[in-house]
Amino acid sequence: MNVVMIGAGYVGLVSGACFAEFGAQVTCVDKLPERIDALNAGRIPIYEPGLEDLVARNVRGGRLRFTTELGDSVAAADLVFIAVGTPTRRGDGHADLQYVYAAASEIATYLTGYTVIVDKSTVPVGTAREVQRVIRKANPDADFDVASNPEFLREGSAIGDFMRPDRVVLGVQSERAEKRLRELYRPLNLIEAPILVTDLESAELIKYASNAFLATKISFINEMSQLCEATGADVNAVAKGMGMDKRIGNKFLHAGPGYGGSCFPKDTLALIRIAQEHGASSRIVESVVEVNASQKARMVAKIRQALGGSEADKTIAVLGLTFKPQTDDMRDAPALAILPALADRGAIIRAHDPEGTAEARTLMPSGIDYVDTIEDALRDADAVVLMTEWNQYRGLDLRELRSLMRGNVFVDLRNVYERRTMEDAGFVYSAVGR
């Protein structure tokens, strides 16, 4: 089976390497020459646990290659996946589909033989049919079907999620396309991964509805965390008690600084626009987005309060910048909203992150100091803010760190520590919803 993956980012690279591991011949195409050069030199341009070994093994095995030229590989392909970015369009919150349609027109003239063109990018309802129109217009004789195969992997656990999915969704318009996609995913039959075959529109919507529902769970528990703070309840206990009900489930009920990342923020906004375009209601998702924004603002107020009412001239050691651990991705990280708000009011910020500082430097306003060690962040600091729950921050030597600091404030935005432990170590501790 010959597979072309257009886009070698988080999704394209992981999916391409995993399909190669399944035994397919995979060509990953990206228009960024520096990305392809790095991959051909054995360097992985993103941080994703396990990816380096997986890529190296499949390149060595002759099943995975990287190029900027799509012509020959598209001509030989049984399936062409489009895994390019669909960021929020400036100004209106819609998904920007220019990269998807550009990829569709680039591949159109190279198609030979029957080919299935698969949207793996997260795209609004109707995009697969529009991709079909774009290709048909550029190449009226091409023998092809379009399909939708949304991706549900999470950064930081992407390979495991891809190899052991809760489900694979295949939106198809013909039995021929279904057969080919089922053949590609056949190795997953061994672990009995459920495969849901449906129409194009339902597959496209399943992705947005799933992300919006998960974002809803997070905003719900974040809203409850405010009520917990007001009433003296403990949000961890509340989430645990709720999660014991199998109808609710215990996943995605961790209160924190608000969801971030490359998917939830943009996909909730896009879903609202899709609903508006079709004259449908999206009131729940609109509230989810609002609650997420106010949770980030609430975290700024919480840090200010912990510092005695003003952050001016206070040195804050920030542990973690990325939107979650085990990734270098800073897209829509809560830190991007919280830290500039503190710096604007005169806080001196010293930030540490195991993988995210290079990208943070390009996205954060100047004036933030990035340090290489946790100790450097905490030396003479008035307060610590634990922003992202990297493993390195879960077992801190609290007494030693406390002795490095000038102040004793610890704001735990991920509820990693217990109040008693922190107070025993001499910290004045605040958390989220506890």
CA distance 122 to 209: 11
Residue 130 contacts ligand NAD per CB under 6 A: no
Beta strands at 2-6 and 348-352: parallel, antiparallel or unpaired: unpaired
Q: At what angle do helices 127-138 and 200-231 cross, to 10 degrees?
A: 140
Q: Is 155 in the site for ligand UDX (CB under 6 A)?
A: yes
By CB under 6 A, is residue 407 in contact with ligand NAD?
Answer: no
Supply the minimum distance, in Å, between the C-beta of residue 69 and ligand NAD.
Answer: 10
Q: What's the sign of the alpha-carbon dihedral 414, 416, 420, 423? A: negative
Question: Where in 134-193 is the site for ligand NAD (CB under 6 A)?
Answer: 151, 153, 155
Helical H runs in 232-312?
Answer: 235-243, 264-277, 283-306
Is the Cβ of residue 39 or residue 317 nearer to ligand NAD in the bound state? 39
Tokens 């933030």 belong to 368
Question: What does each C-alpha distance from 308 to 79, 175, 423 come to in angstroms?
Answer: 60, 65, 17
* Per-residue binder mask for ligand NAD (CB under 6 A), 74-93, x = binder: ---------xxxx-------
Catalytic residue among 18, 28, 228, 263: 263
Three-state DSSP state, 249 = coil
| Segment contacting ligand NAD by CB under 6 A, of 2-10, 307-315, 335-343, 392-400 | 2-10
Q: Is 266 flagged in the annotation as binding?
A: yes
Instruction: Pick from 9, 85, 256, 320 the residue near ligand UDX by CB under 6 A.
Output: 256
Q: Between 8 and 47, how does the x/- string for binding to ligand NAD read (CB under 6 A)?
A: xxxxx----------------xxxx--x------------
Which residue number has the CB closest to ligand NAD? 9
Residue 308 burial (CB count, 10 A) = 13
At closest approach, how far in Å is the CB of 259 from ligand UDX? Answer: 3
- Which pairing describes strands 2-6 and 79-82: parallel, antiparallel, or unpaired? parallel
Binding mask 252-281 for ligand NAD (x = CB under 6 A): ----------xx------------------
Q: Which is nearer to ligand NAD, 181 or 431 (CB)?
A: 181
Distances (CA, A) of 415 to 127, 166, 172, 319: 40, 28, 43, 13
| 263 has catalytic annotation | yes
Residue 234 counted as an annotated binding residue: no
Binding flag, residue 260, ligand UDX (CB under 6 A): yes
Q: Which does 323 bind (CB under 5 to 8 A by kind): ligand NAD, ligand UDX, none?
A: ligand UDX
Site of tokens 């070994």: 53
Main-chain phi, psi angles of 275, to 5 degrees: -60, -45
Q: Where are the alpha helices (DSSP H) in 321-390?
A: 335-344, 357-363, 374-378
Beta partners for residue 279, in sequence order:
none
Catalytic residues: 263
Binding site listing? 30, 35, 86, 122, 152-155, 207, 252-256, 260, 266, 324, 331
Q: What does the binding site for ligand UDX look like in residue numbers (CB under 6 A)?
A: 151-155, 211, 214, 218, 252-254, 256, 259-261, 263-264, 323-324
